[in-house]
């Protein structure tokens, strides 16, 4: 029976080791909202053998309002600092479409880079606009779960980015926790009704908490046009920024076809 630390030290054996080298994997750091039920689960369906995901949460308002979304900026640097200290990340992502738009893309990057200097940063708002440019989608339709006070700035931002928003639909949900409870069937029906009589180049399904990833491929085939979701676009953009070629199939043409950063 060992009764002292000195005796334990005599028992304990210490072994030498050679530190492993980099294995060529791409490591993504994700800052998602405390109330997001969807983003990480959808992204884990997209990961391949060479792509690793490390995530953390950041405080947010339970309601999706402009003031609540802008308020997330206060905790963004501190939350980002919780991402795997000591491990080098290739790209960072902030998981909120409307929040990144209202806080501002450059400000989101600045706040996250305070914790991880020099690492490329993406967010759904930047990613979607980049994806739409890559698709040369000038006339678009947009479907969101948000209230009008959140939708109007999104409409304005897309118009300012050079896209003609010819149709805009919403489920008008205020509580963030209710957004992932919108059924896929309701999303599909709303998308079809939204596009009646419209000629568009792409459909944008906004919100990281809206469950859409599993329906993108079939929805594209039935509608006959590209369908972009927040989570799909941000994953694509993260891979682009990391210089990683990885094309998961079955989740929309954005991920399977080659679209360069614009």
The answer to whether residue 132 sits within a structural domain is yes
Mean pLDDT for the chain overall: 95
- Average of pLDDT values for 65-79? 97
Q: Provide the pLDDT for residue 261.
A: 58
Task: Tell whether 111 and 43 lie within a shared domain.
Answer: yes
Verify that 162 and 38 share a domain, yes or no.
no
Please indicate, yes or no, whether residues 219 and 132 belong to a single structural domain of this protein: yes
Tell me whether residue 190 is in a domain. yes
| pTM for this prediction | 0.93
| Total domains in the fold of the chain | 2
Q: Residue 189 domain-assigned? A: yes
Same domain, 109 and 149: no
Range of the domain at 179: 127-229
pLDDT digits (tens, 9 = 90+) for 206-254: 999 999 999 999 999 999 999 999 999 999 999 999 999 999 999 999 9
Per-residue pLDDT reduced to its tens digit, 93-117: 999 999 999 999 999 999 999 999 9
Q: Give the CATH number for residue 53.
A: 3.40.50.12500
Q: What is the DSSP string of the chain?
A: ---SHHHHHHH-------PPPP---EEEEEEEETT-SSHHHHHHHH--TTEEEEEEEE---SB--HHHHHHTHHHHHHHHTTS-TTS--SEEEEE-HHHHHHH-HHHHHHHHHHHSTT--EE-HHHHHHHHHHHTT--EEEEEESS-HHHHHHHHHHHHHTT-EEEEEEE----BGGGGGGS-HHHHHHHHHHHTTT---SEEEE--TTS--GGGHHHHHHHHTS-EEEHHHHHHHHHHHHHT-----SSS-HHHHS-----
Q: Is residue 47 part of a domain?
A: yes
Residue 18 included in any domain? no
Say what the pLDDT of residue 19 is: 80
Q: What is the pLDDT of residues 155-189, one digit of tens each?
A: 999 999 999 999 999 999 999 999 999 999 999 99
């Amino acid at each position: 029976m060992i009764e002292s630390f000195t005796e334990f030290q005599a028992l304990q054996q210490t072994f030498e080791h050679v530190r492993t080298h980099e294995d060529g994997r791409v490591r993504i750091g994700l800052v998602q909202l405390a109330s997001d039920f969807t983003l990480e689960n959808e992204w884990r369906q997209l990961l391949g053998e060479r792509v690793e995901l490390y995530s953390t949460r950041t405080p947010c308002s339970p309601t999706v309002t402009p003031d609540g979304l802008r308020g997330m900026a206060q905790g963004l640097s501190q939350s980002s600092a919780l991402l795997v200290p000591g491990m080098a990340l290739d790209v960072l992502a902030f998981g909120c479409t409307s929040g990144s738009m209202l806080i501002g893309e450059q400000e989101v990057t600045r706040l996250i880079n305070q914790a991880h200097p020099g690492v490329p940063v993406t967010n759904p708002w930047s990613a979607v606009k980049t994806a739409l440019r890559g698709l040369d989608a000038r006339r678009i339709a947009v479907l969101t779960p948000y209230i009008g006070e959140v939708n109007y700035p999104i409409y304005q931002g897309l118009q300012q980015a050079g896209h003609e928003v010819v149709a805009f639909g919403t489920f008008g949900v205020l509580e963030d926790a209710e957004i992932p409870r919108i059924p896929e069937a309701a999303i599909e029906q709303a998308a079809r009704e939204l596009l009646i009589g419209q000629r568009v180049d792409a459909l944008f399904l906004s919100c990281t908490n809206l469950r859409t990833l599993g329906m993108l491929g079939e929805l594209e085939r039935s509608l006959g046009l590209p369908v972009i979701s927040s989570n799909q676009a941000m994953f694509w953009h993260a891979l682009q920024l990391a210089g990683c070629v990885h094309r998961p199939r079955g989740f929309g043409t954005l991920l399977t076809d080659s679209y360069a950063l614009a």
